[in-house]
A and B are shown apart, each in its own frame.
Chain A
Amino acid sequence: NAGVTQTPKFQVLKTGQSMTLQCAQDMNHNSMYWYRQDPGMGLRLIYYSASEGTTDKGEVPNGYNVSRLNKREFSLRLESAAPSQTSVYFCATQGEDVSGPGSSYNEQFFGPGTRLTVL
């Protein structure tokens, strides 16, 4: 089992270019997430998908779009890249909290990340 995979590992873009970051999981999880990590800021949620066919904004969605192509795949698109989007991007998945709120909470599993530089 590969867990959570992300492609590409590294990418350099020029301002205004577009690209799509790919994420795939083989954990049969319904929920998937995109985060960005910046120095001194921790990880911030960009978008998430609670199940196939649904997506929702996180804390920092501006400049991004997402597609939940199927249960396995969740992609993040930058339509017109800006230097402020230089960051490390992480995809994550999570199983269902079948025990209910306040009890055991299923951890999120992260991919290895994509390091994006926008010049």
Chain B
Amino acid sequence: DQQVKQNSPSLSVQEGRISILNCDYTNSMFDYFLWYKKYPAEGPTFLISISSIKDKNEDGRFTVFLNKSAKHLSLHIVPSQPGDSAVYFCAATAGGGTSYGKLTFGQGTILTVHP
């Protein structure tokens, strides 16, 4: 039962264009969502997050959008740079209490940005 899904295994974009990575979830108890970026032979690093009380969060070139009714979130990278080439993981959590810290990850999307 995959509660967080990233249906696109890979995405290829041109430098300077927008990259849009998508993520769907099924568990309506999820109330916090995160994006992680992972380079080969390294651990994932936190990129950006959003609480379920918001529908948008922006940090520089990165913006995450949340559509709760559709149980869908997306990460926009504008403009894309070759250094953004990495695997991007979407993650979700049900927040505090016994679920605190227990992240559920998607399968990941490999982003390749061509010069």
Contacts and interface: CB of A to CB of B under 8 A. Distances in A.
B42 interface: yes
B103 interface: yes
Q: Is the interface of B mostly helix, strand, loop or mixed?
A: loop
A109 B97 CA distance: 20
B39 to A, nearest CB: 10
A102 B53 contact: yes
Contacts of B26: none
Contact of B44 (A43, A48, A100): A43
Given A101-B95, A105-B49, A90 B31 contact: no
Nearest to A111: B43
A26 interface: no
B107 interface: yes
A108 B101 contact: yes
Interface string B85-102: 000010101011100111
A94 B89 contact: no
B93 to A, nearest CB: 7
28 contacts: A4-B43, A31-B100, A31-B101, A35-B105, A40-B107, A42-B4, A42-B89, A42-B106, A42-B108, A43-B44, A43-B103, A44-B105, A45-B103, A48-B101, A50-B100, A58-B102, A90-B44, A97-B100, A102-B31, A105-B34, A105-B93, A107-B34, A107-B49, A108-B101, A108-B103, A109-B46, A110-B45, A113-B43
CB-CB nearest 7 A-B residue pairs = A110-B43, A101-B96, A107-B46, A42-B105, A101-B95, A43-B105, A42-B107
